[in-house]
Amino acid sequence: MKPFDIISSSPDAASLTRLLDLCFGPGRHARTAERLREGNRAMADYDFCAQSADGTLLGSISFWPIYIGQSPALLLGPLAVHPEHQGVGIGEHLMQTALAAVDAKRFPIVLLVGDLPYYERVGFAVAPPAVRLPGPVDPARLLVKGGHAECADLAGLVRPAPELC
């Protein structure tokens, strides 16, 4: 038996805030990806969390609707795993489970800001240079997942799309 279970739901707000503060620190609200969450709504159907047998929150993943230019897409994040439980596959299990749940016809592209060596394991690649975020980001950390046809000509400013919820 795995030391954790992946469940389809959002953790309670207080537990999630504690986990995100622990994983990303107080500066997490200043990051560029946070601009895409402001005034937006998380896609509840794609929220998953990892819990221990006693119900302790070990990890969480969420997605937010966005447009990349005129293309509908999802922003993955935050993906957080409690530091004491990293390295045992929780993050990868959360991603695999959540990405499998995404309606690829509705959202053919998923975007995130992260480290390529970690995320390429589940199919992410560096975004085309014409994809722009509403703030500074290292272009090597701007990653996309989608079919070749969807990503080849991807271009434009990334912006929140709460109307796609």
Architecture of the domain spanning 5-164: 3-Layer(aba) Sandwich (3.40)
SS3 161: coil
pLDDT tens for each residue of the chain, 165 residues long: 467 888 787 778 888 888 878 787 776 766 778 889 889 999 999 999 999 988 889 999 999 999 999 999 999 989 999 999 999 999 999 999 999 999 999 999 999 999 999 999 999 999 999 999 998 999 999 999 987 677 888 999 999 999 998
With contact defined as beta carbons under 8 Å apart, do 157 and 134 qualify? yes
Residue type at 32 in one-letter notation: T
Backbone angles phi, psi at 9, to 5 degrees: -175, 165
Question: Could you state, in order of their start, the residue ranges of all structural domains in the chain?
Answer: 5-164
With contact defined as beta carbons under 8 Å apart, do 125 and 142 qualify? no
Work out whether strand 125-126 and strand 131-132 pair parallel, antiparallel, or are unpaired. Answer: unpaired
CA distance 76 to 126: 14
SS3 82: coil
| Burial label, 151 (beta-carbon count in 10 A; 0-12, 13-18, 19+) | buried
State the pTM of this model: 0.90
pLDDT at 30: 62
